[in-house]
């Protein structure tokens, strides 16, 4: 990312919603050039494609003809045009404020959310926003109006990270509040201590028929853990400090990190959710462009 762009992503500039919106627009129109039909498919009238049946799918959408000919369970998907709802769930816990460089995970998450909102609203679909920490602490009702983007941006700009992470509980809250099926896009570092709670929240959402897309934002240092010397790690979210020589435990740390990442990938895959781990040093435009292209090609 060039310095000029980094300047645009400066926290002070982002403090204003307009600035956030401008950046989102800049990213979407700059990096993601070309037409972007919404890859978030809902249940509309116009047939789009088949996809393999997964537990929890509505059996009403099974393609009986295909089943009769091939004995395979396929569901007919339809291109949604007007009634698609995207729920942006952004983690605002204190852990999101971590950064080893210029950009915190929180800033990155806000930018991602702004970009996604811009993309979705540009297709006249509806977007809702939820900010969560230990619960769903703030939310903005869905809307497909043109003013919704500014509301989302204002909400994001006004929010500050803080509090603990109980993403599982927050997803439970989201599941309880959503009345209509849609796509739930979770932007979080997923540093949830309680994996079972996360799993329950995820299952709750899936049970209600929501499609789930998860973006795990992690700082480069959290991924590579290549710091040295004698370090006292000050625990965020009121976790106790730890003194150690990180170079001597790096291998163990990376194993732990890989184990958790593997669990997240397996869990989300098992529940037919999309999971992307994102290094916050990567350019948002490229990350989103790559994901949207993937989604478009794979349904």
Q: What are the residues binding other proteins (CB under 8 A)? A: 94-98, 105, 189, 191, 193, 218-219, 222, 225, 227, 229-237, 239, 242-245, 247-253, 255-257, 260
* Cα 204 to Cα 133, 177, 273, 274, distances in angstroms: 18, 12, 13, 16
Residue with smaller CB distance to other proteins, 71 or 248: 248
Q: Shortest distance, CB of residue 162 to other proteins, whole angstroms? A: 13
Shortest Å distance, C-beta 194 to other proteins: 10
Smaller CB distance to other proteins: residue 67 or 242? 242
Task: Identify which of residues 56 and 235 has a Cβ nearer to other proteins in the complex.
Answer: 235
Min dist CB 164 to other proteins, Å, is: 11
Report the DSSP beta bridge partners of residue 297.
Answer: none
Report the residue count for the chain: 299
| Closer residue to other proteins (CB): 74 or 98 | 98
- Is the torsion defined by CA of 30, 148, 214, 195 positive or negative? positive
Report the nearest approach of other proteins to the CB of residue 193 (Å): 6
Shortest distance in whole angstroms from residue 285 CB to other proteins: 25
Strand order in the sheet with 211-218: 136-143, 126-132, 85-91, 183-188, 211-218, 274-279
Closer Cβ to other proteins, 208 or 281, answer by number: 281
Q: Hey, what are 233's tokens?
A: 């790690």
**Class of residue 138 by CB neighbours under 10 A (exposed 0-12, middle 13-18, buried 19+):** middle
Q: Identify the bridge partners of residue 188 per DSSP, sorted by sequence position.
A: 216
Task: Determine the 3-state secondary structure of 16 from DSSP.
Answer: coil
* Residue 277 beta carbon to other proteins: minimum distance, rounded to whole angstroms: 13
Gyration radius of the chain over CA positions: 20
Nearer to other proteins, 242 or 293 (CB): 242
Pairing of strands 183-188, 274-279: unpaired
């Amino acid at each position: 990312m060039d310095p000029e762009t980094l300047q645009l992503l400066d926290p002070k500039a982002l403090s204003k919603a307009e600035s956030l919106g401008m950046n989102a627009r800049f990213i979407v129109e700059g990096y993601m050039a070309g037409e972007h039909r919404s890859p978030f498919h809902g249940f509309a009238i116009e047939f789009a494609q088949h996809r393999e049946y997964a537990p929890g799918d509505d059996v009403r959408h099974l393609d009986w003809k295909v089943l009769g000919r091939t004995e395979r369970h396929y569901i007919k998907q339809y291109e949604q045009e007007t009634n698609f709802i995207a729920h942006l769930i952004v983690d605002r816990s204190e852990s999101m404020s971590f950064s080893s460089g210029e950009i915190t995970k929180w800033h990155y998450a806000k930018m991602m959310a702004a970009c996604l909102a811009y993309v979705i609203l540009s297709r006249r679909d509806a977007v809702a926003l939820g900010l969560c920490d230990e619960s769903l602490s703030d939310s903005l009702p869905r809307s497909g109006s043109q003013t919704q983007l500014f509301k989302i941006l204002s909400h994001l700009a006004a929010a500050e990270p803080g509090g603990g992470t109980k993403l599982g509980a927050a997803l439970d809250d989201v599941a309880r509040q959503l009345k209509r099926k849609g796509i739930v896009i979770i932007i979080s570092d997923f540093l949830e201590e309680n994996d079972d709670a996360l799993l329950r929240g995820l299952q709750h959402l899936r049970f209600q028929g929501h499609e789930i897309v998860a973006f795990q934002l992690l700082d480069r240092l959290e991924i590579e853990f290549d710091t040295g010397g004698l370090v006292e790690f000050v625990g965020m979210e009121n976790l106790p400090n730890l003194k150690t020589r990180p170079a001597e435990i790096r291998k163990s740390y990376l194993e732990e990190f890989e184990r958790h990442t593997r669990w997240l990938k397996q869990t989300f895959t098992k529940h037919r959710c999309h999971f992307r781990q994102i290094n916050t040093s990567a350019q948002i435009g490229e990350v989103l462009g790559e994901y949207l292209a993937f989604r478009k090609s794979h349904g």
